[in-house]
Structure 1
Amino acid sequence: MSDIKRILQQITALSEVPEASVLKLLIDALRATEKEPALANQNIQQLIDVLRQHPEYARGLSSFVLTLIIQYRQINLYTDTGIMSDQGFFSSLRRLVGHRFLPLLPQDDSVVELIGYLFPDRQDERWLANIDSQKWDALVELLQVDEAHLHLVATVKNSILNAIVILSYRISGVGLHPDLMEAYPQILNYSAAFVAQNQEAVLFVNQYRQAHELDTLTDITPAQAVDPAPLFVMLEQCEDIVATVRKRIYKTGISIRLTNMMLRLDQSLRRMRVLTELVADTGDRRDKALIELIQTLILTANRRYSIGYLIDNNTKLLSRKVTENASRVGEHYISTDRRGYQKMFKKASIGGFFIAFMATTKILSYELALAPMGRAFINSMIYGCGFVFIHIVHGTVATKQPAMTAAAIASTISEGSGKKSHQLTKLSELVVDILRTQFVAIMGNIMLAMPVALLISLAWFQYTGAPMIDADKATHLLHDLDPFHSLALPHAAIAGVYLFLSGLIAGYYDNLAVYNKIGERIRRHRFLQRIMPASWLSRFGGFIEANLGAIMGNFLFGVFLGSTATIGYLFGLPIDIRHIAFASANFAHGLFNLPADEISWSLILLSLLGVLLIGAVNLMVSFSLALFVALRSKEVRFFEWGRLTRLILGHLASHPSDFFWPRPKPMTYARIDSQGHMIFDDNSAQKGNQPLPNKYVVRRLSDVKVLPKSMQAGERVKNPDTPVHHTANKAAENADKVVELDDGLSNDVIDDMPPGDDIRYDKATKTLGAHETESTDKAETEDKNHLPKPKKPPNLPH
């Protein structure tokens, strides 16, 4: 405690001329590793005890911090830090790679540079997160500011209020962006929500400045606090609109640009809430907002030059895009009841039947004298066209993990699905259902592929009198299945990666078909209209739009499988693929055509074990990658994987049959039916011409009033329920939501005034009002409102 007390003495002595290095000494004394939460809380408690014993140290520390902060630019800190940039990934990557060779110049006047100096350790945000909220509350309560230093608080609050206005304008711009309106045309009915939140934000900022007299660099406590509730109501309505757009993504599709835009909109709305709570006169919310802002700032400051952090954010954006849009028809691989289990077995049996013929065709193609690229093309066409045909005839291939599975996983851990422990329990049950569905798909493929392949070899021998393949080829096929003396399992892992990628590709093309309205464009194609009847063209367009993702995913999956061996040959790499369905067919062909004296039980059992292990690796790799993408899209932290694994293993120990046979009582999921189809919500406040609910407040752009010339700033503060506060002030307390309708109505007051002359921004009152003031008054007002520029911040030690 003596070290902390000594540092606080130095801070108090330097409160008027602060130095960042002294504050860094205090932070270093409080720092603990992320694995020592008890030590972190103990150090903070020591600081709290010293401040309680010496109130002058608390006042000195608060003055020291405020005096130091106001020397730096703050608005960018509040408006940009921790919010997704609209800059492209590759331009950002080029900038950071260039930083490795020629370092970027630091922004010495930015608070981010100051925080980066004070918190240089990348684990600092986790250390701070381990501190109990009660200790944060106690610390913030002790850090009071003397009346002599209220001008410091006023300066910081002015920056925060300016940031609120800037964020409000950005939210309006993004909310009314053409891309967002294209994704959800009905948003035009609620377009006033984004405009009205800006009106409420400007109104709140102006009233707050006047009530607290911030323009005179003082911060008084007003008799009646400025109510932020109307602004919160409008922010909530904007959030509801964004949520509605997300729920309709399965109908409208989404682009990377729109995904980035919606993420920035979410983050900006959240930041506006935090900043408003930071200045509002509510202690609990203010403390939580301050802690959240500090943690975000520390995280961003530590990783602003990190290439890994840039890649992490952008891959997370891609993950969100994949999981937010699921295939509407496509291929579904989750069954929760006996009926879905039987249906999956039937589809897998169809797939296994055709896989036997595909494997036979691939074996026979080796008799052709082809160049390496020709071999890759033939194999790719066999795989790709075969997979597409299996999908068209409603069959399935085992171990496929399409984007639908990732979306289903993500739905169980959505924001509104309960506590994290409940979400992980549901997720573990979903994993059990997925693994059981994959098991029956594998069995369906194997139980048809093996006997059909055996019958093909038998029919070939009966018809031609010679085996389909020679003994060397048969030995080679069985050797490729050996899990111990060949690269069968690494090759199976490569196929598992391709299975995962095919799911992402399917999700991408499903989204592309919906977003670009492929079906409707096909129906309007002039050449197709000439050669096809209207009914056929309509069905064809609908089929392509509904199945484009599955078709492209299957075809490109086949291209990956068919070309990998050739790529390995060209580059001298020992890479190939092994898939359980084809491995089972190759096992039947190899065993039948192998000479009888070379067949042994050990060879049969070893080859069968290889087939099963190949399937296990296929499933484990593809499913793990799909699960990783789903959890990543919802920002589930990595250490929760261990808990999820323990839940799955515990289920295996207690109810092992659930992994192979349908449960007696199937599980139910909020957004997944028994067939594995997503249940999409499409609720909006107003559908068609139905009336709005009684608890909704209807506001219009035409409700915006121009202040009468006689209204002064003092009257607005004393009477916050005047018409300028719109209808939301009176109704916000009794309304659950506010619906904005831009119905084009015009206000008589506005119509009676010439535009551009009678609507001005008055510098004295910061409101819409009269502009006819004397020149002397304008000069006095400008002098009064001219805030001093911050001094140039001192150079940070290197």
Structure 2
Amino acid sequence: MQNKPEQPKAAKTDAPKPNSGKGKAAPTLNIKSASRPHSAPNRALAADAGLQVMSPFRQQVLALLNEIAEQAATPTIDLFKQLILLLQRGAHTPKAANANIGVLIDLLRDHPMLADKLCLYLLTLIARYRQVSLYTDMGILADNSFFAEFYGLIGYRLLPPAPDDKDLVYVFYRLFSSSATRQWIELVDTQNWLRLSLLLHVPDGQESIMNSLRANILRAIIVLAHRISGTGLHREMMEAFPQPADDPQAFIELTYEVREFANAYETSVLAANDAPLPQHPADPSQILVLVEQIERLVQNIRRRIHKTGVTVRGTNRMVRLEQSVERLELLIMLLSERPNAERRALIELMHTLYEGAYRQISVRYLLASNTALLSRKVTDNASKVGEHYISTDKRGYRKMYKKAALGGVLIGIMATIKILGSKLALSLFGTAFMNSMIYGLGFVLIHIIGGTVATKQPAMTAAAIASTISETSGRKATQLAKLAELVVDIMRTQFIAILGNISIAMPLALLISVVWYYGFGTPIIGYGKADHLLHDLNPFTSLAIFHAAIAGVYLYISGLIAGYYDNLAVHNKIGARIRHHPWLNRHLSTIRVEKFASFIEQNLGAIMSNFIFGVCLGSTATIGTILGLPLDIRHIAFASANFSHGLFNIYTNTGVMPDLGLIFVSFLGVVLIGLVNLLVSFSLALLTALRARNVKVFEWKNLLDMVATHFITQPLDFFLPRKEPMKYALIDADGRIIYDDEPVERKAAEQKNKPSAKTEAQHTPSSAATSTTADTPAQKLTPLEVEQKKQELKEKAAEKQAAKQAAQQAAEQSGQTKPDTDTASKLPK
């Protein structure tokens, strides 16, 4: 009734009826006149009335709405798609997209009959198709392997399947599978979608269609409940339960509660008119309680992954479980009796469904989603012992240099062995095998003796980044600021690792060449080989930078391999299997078996990643020769050793020292190789962690800006330890992840039941408090609790400061400001 005064005005503006003295016209006549937007009489009447002529876009939308109203009883997909395409026209920015949808909203508000007809059109169109699969499958991760999905999409592109024109999924593919439609929907504000939903009302006498839609949603809820129960009771999921005896109960009870809710809903809502007596309303509260328990259980499983391990299929299963639970909640909200909740659930469901329609046929999304799953697996379960490449204080800085210097000793020896091996007349396979063993076994030996290879990005790096931007640790802006500080610490640690490698590898390689020359009387290599070594370092006349980037990719992949094998050792209980191996227990003592099992359990990932990394480095040049491509690798540690060998042996072969230009260019090549190694490997590790935590692209730019600003304002932090080390909630001083695997509900209960310091002080006598403090050691807080306490204190201090300033302002306004000499005001209360 509130819109009645506005309707005549709208009728005059949009399509005035001839000879209408007061502008009150029948809606049908308005629609018909609007269907002829270019009619000369209409333009003349509008001009005579002093009204503004509708824009061409507004005329086209109104004409299309008129056509939809005429075909409301026999809807088609094509006509509604025309409306979507019309609203997309020129909507390449948020302003344009919202302006277009605003035209539709204004027209529907001014013409309520058109809004009712549009609603009837959509409901009738949906009711003509099967709906359950749309609600249960669209936008939810499929239970298939990557290759099965990939081959399916390739087949879809080459030979599209025959459309199932009886399923609502087909309708969504027709309407929302294009990237342009997806972009347009994302540009429209949620507030406009809410305004549009408020205008669409079910016409009188069409309750049967609504009951049919509700019945399909109810069936989808039942299907989802069974799928959630089946997924939760999977063997791999049950093995990861913190409390195997109790936790599956939520999955078991879910199907029962959903069935009870469905029966109650059918009798109280769908069949309410036929019921002889009033029925109790369907109450989904118990289902929502079980859903909350399941969500907490999934959180607890993720918190224990570093202990239980996880497979890629297991990660897929948990993501699918989370998506199914979210979909179940949305569908239940659609059946609620709260209009606002229904509308918001409908809008969120529509966004999820159109995203699913686009993604289900996108090869790019398949690759991105599986990369994110792999990233999630690697970052969720990092190396527990393995390699650690983050130092936050001076002690860790010095420790990293010592480890890198130890690695530099073996790198200098490995570079010399590789140079000597190049003199052997071997086949291509023999050359690749020899170089692979030199690199692979050498890297493994470096790890075993406690050394470090510079620029190598283990799984620990991605996991540390992911822990800093955890989804449950506050706002993204705060997380990115903390992550920027972590990037600075990682860069500084890598710098000292590079310095440790080359500070030992270069003089050691030079020493070996000198000893060889004066010991055997001949240079270790000829002039041609020495000149070739220096040419390979020239960043201007060789592919040194490109080859360094290839090595950077291998450095990153080695981190993924480390995460994979660390996870494999935990998930398959490799240590326990070795401890109980019959043959080992027969031939070795219990102590040796225990040491061997512990070593493999803790270092399997690092050993395998170092060996495979070495194989990649050693075989790339041979593969390039076979393929006829200029493929090779350059790593800063070996480049520095080759730099020393090349310079000295040019002198020993010619008797003339190389000129300064050659020395400078070669050394510049070494520096650039190290820089490219580090940037490529670290950027990929950072990308892995950000993808695993769903950080958007524009937030990456913010992170880069923060790091660049820090480098400009405090450049020494990238090379020397800070005076005050940065503290991280989930990373200790040695760069190890602090895993918080305590169940969510137990931690929340402890936080709730823990008395505050103020309460304890009020209820504890001072003497008792003193004796307790003297006799009992104080309970040590975890770093996470320390950070939480600090944040609470900061918030309280900010509140006190704000209250103090407000009081001072009020006092100044009232003229009651106290002088600074008022000593009483400074005394504690």
Normalised to the residue count of structure 1, the TM-score between the two structures is 0.83
1:3 lines up with 2:60 in the alignment: yes
**Contact 2:300 2:744 (C-alpha < 8 Å) held by counterparts:** no
Cα deviation, residue 503, structure 1: 0.8
After superposition, residues 455-604 of structure 1 pair within 5 angstroms as 455-595=511-651, 596-604=655-663
Aligned position for 2:477: 421
- The 8 Å contact of residues 112 and 297 in structure 1, kept in 2 or not, is answered as no
Match of 1:348 in 2: 404
Alpha-carbon separation, structure 2, partners of 1:254 and 1:170: 21
Corresponding residue SS for 1:189: coil
Distance across 1 between alignment mates of 2:744 and 2:605? 32
2:230 aligns to what? 173
Distance 1:3 1:34 in 2: 16
1:261 positional shift: 1.2
Q: 388-397 or 122-131, which moves further after superposition?
A: 122-131
1:186 aligns with 2:249: no
CA distance in 2: counterparts of 1:694 and 1:488, whole angstroms? 56
Q: 1:199 & 1:548 partners in 2: Cα distance?
A: 45
Give the residue type in structure 2 aligned to 1:508.
Y
The letter of the residue matching 1:153 is M
Letter matched to residue 622 of structure 1 = S
**Residue 153, structure 1, aligned to residue 230, structure 2:** no
Code of the aligned partner of 2:346: L
User: 1:99 Cα deviation (Å)?
Assistant: 2.7
Q: Which residue of 1 aligns with 2:730?
A: 671
In the alignment, which residue of structure 2 is the partner of 1:778?
Answer: none
* Deviation of 1:458 (Å): 1.9
Is 1:239 the equivalent of 2:326? Answer: no
1:615 to 1:184, Cα distance in 2 relative to 1, 3 A: same
Distance 1:34 1:10 in 2: 23
Deviations 1:2-21 (A, max 9, x none): 22222222222222222222
After superposition, the C-alpha distances for 1:380-400 in whole angstroms (9 at most, x for unaligned) are: 111111111110111100000
Shift in CA distance, 48/100, structure 1 to aligned 2, threshold 3 Å:
closer
* Cα distance change on mapping 1:667 and 1:286 into 2, 3 Å: farther
Q: Distance in 2 between matches of 1:174 and 1:657?
A: 52
Structure 2 CA distance for aligned equivalents of residues 329 and 32 of structure 1: 57
Alignment of 1:100-139 (within 5 A): 100-139=157-196
Change (3 A) 1:585 1:693: closer
Q: Which residue of 2 aligns with 1:250?
A: 306
Aligned to 2:666: 607
- The alignment status of 1:404 with 2:460, answered yes or no, reads yes
Residue 577 of structure 2 aligns with an amino acid whose one-letter code is R
Q: 2:412 touches 2:506 (CA, 8 Å); kept in 1?
A: yes
Does the CA-based 8 Å contact 1:336-1:675 persist in structure 2? yes
- Select the residue among 739, 742, 747 that pairs with 1:683: 742
The structure where helix makes up a greater share of residues is: 2
Q: Which residue of 1 aligns with 2:489?
A: 433
Which amino acid in structure 1 is aligned with residue 508 of structure 2?
A: V
Question: Do the aligned residues in 2 keep the contact of 1:348 with 1:445 (CA within 8 Å)?
Answer: yes
Matches of 2:679 and 2:724 in 1, distance apart? Answer: 26
Question: For the residues of structure 2 that align with 1:691 and 1:81, how far apart are their CA atoms?
Answer: 35
Q: In 1, Cα distance between the equivalents of 2:573 and 2:274?
A: 56
Separation in 2, partners of 1:369, 1:317: 45
Aligned pairs (5 A) from 1:351-362: 351-362=407-418
Q: Which has the higher contact order (CA 8 A, sep 6+)?
A: 1
8 Å Cα contact 1:136/1:287 also seen in 2:
no
| Residue type of the alignment partner of 1:581 | A
Deviation per CA, 1:201-236, whole angstroms, max 9, x where unpaired?
A: 223333233322357699xxx998644332222111
Aligned residue among 283, 293, 302 for 2:349: 293
- The reply to whether residue 302 of structure 1 matches residue 358 of structure 2 is yes
* CA distance in structure 2 between the aligned counterparts of 1:45 and 1:692, rounded to whole angstroms: 48
Could you tell me how far 1:431 is from its partner in structure 2? Answer: 1.8
Alpha-carbon distance in 2 for matches of 1:69, 1:87: 29
- Matching residue within 655, 667, 677 for 1:618: 677
Q: What is the deviation of 1:355? A: 0.8
Letter paired with 2:674: G
Assess if the C-alpha contact under 8 Å between 1:322 and 1:504 holds in 2. Answer: yes
Question: How far apart, CA to CA, are the structure 1 residues paired with 2:193 and 2:176?
Answer: 18
Of 162, 165, 171, which aligns to 2:219? 162
Q: Closer, same or farther in 2 for the Cα pair 1:120/1:498, shift >3 Å?
A: closer
Alpha-carbon distance in 2 for matches of 1:163, 1:676: 47
Distance (whole Å) between structure 1 residues aligned to residue 567 and residue 488 of structure 2 = 28
Q: CA RMSD in A?
A: 2.3
**Compared with structure 1, are the counterparts of its residues 593 and 572 closer, same or farther at alpha carbon in structure 2 (3 Å cutoff)?**
same
One-letter identity of the residue aligned with 2:337:
D
SS at match of 1:437: helix
Which whole-Å CA distance do the structure 2 matches of 1:694 and 1:569 have between them?
Answer: 63
Matched, 1:209 2:247: no
Per mean C-alpha deviation after superposition, the further-off stretch among 202-211 and 332-341 is 202-211
| CA deviations over 1:602-645 (Å, ceiling 9, x no partner) | 11111110000000111111112212222222232334333322
Return the offset for 1:37: 0.2
The separation in 2 between residues aligned to 1:390 and 1:628, in whole angstroms, is: 28
In structure 1, distance between residues paired with 2:676 and 2:303: 35
For the residues of structure 2 that align with 1:86 and 1:179, how far apart are their CA atoms?
15
CA distance in 1, matches of 2:294, 2:91: 37
Alignment-derived partner of residue 385 in structure 2: 329
Show CA shifts across 1:144-166 (max 9, x none).
Answer: 11231122111111111111111
Distance in 2 of aligned mates of 1:425 and 1:532: 52
Q: Deviations over 1:166-224 (max 9, x none)?
A: 10111111111111122336333211111222233223333233322357699xxx998
Deviations 1:462-488 (A, max 9, x none): 322322222222111111111101111
The aligned residue for residue 97 of structure 1 is: 154
How much has 1:507 moved relative to structure 2?
0.8
Deviations 1:398-441 (A, max 9, x none): 00011111112222222212223223222222222211111111
Aligned to 1:56: 113
- Secondary structure (helix, strand or coil) at the match of 2:742 reads coil
Q: Name which of structure 1's ranges 576-585 and 192-201 shifts more when overlaid on structure 2.
A: 192-201
Moved more, 630-639 or 289-298: 630-639
Output the CA distance in 2 between the equivalents of 1:634 and 1:93.
24
Please say if residues 225 and 281 of structure 1, whose CA atoms lie closer than 8 Å, have aligned partners that are also in contact: no
Aligned length: 691
Q: Does the alignment pair 1:641 with 2:700?
A: yes
- Aligned partner of 1:738 in structure 2 is none
Seen in structure 2, the aligned counterparts of structure 1 residues 693 and 369 have a Cα distance that, compared at 3 Å, is closer
Q: Which amino acid aligns with 2:315?
A: T
Which one of the candidate residues 90, 94, 102 is aligned to 1:37?
Answer: 94
Instruction: Give the AA of the match of 1:267.
Output: Q
Specify the alignment match of 1:707 in structure 2.
none
d(CA) in 2 for partners of 1:545, 1:628: 28
The one-letter amino acid of 2:598's match is G
Call closer, same or farther: CA 1:30–1:500 in 2, change over 3 Å. same
Partner of 1:229 in structure 2? 285
**Alpha carbons 2:182, 2:358 under 8 Å: kept:** no
Report which of the two structures shows the higher radius of gyration computed on alpha carbons.
Answer: 2
Q: Counterpart of 2:341 in 1: which secondary structure? A: helix
Alignment counterpart, residue 269 of structure 1, candidates 321, 325, 334: 325
1:388 aligned to 422, 429, 444, which one?
444
Counterpart CA distance in 2 for 1:323 and 1:32 is: 42
Identity %: 52
Give the C-alpha shift of residue 101 in structure 1: 3.2
Alpha carbons 2:139, 2:357 under 8 Å: kept: no
Distance 1:32 1:215 in 2: 45
Q: Quick one: distance in 1 between partners of 2:365 and 2:440?
A: 37
Secondary structure at 2:205 match in 1:
helix
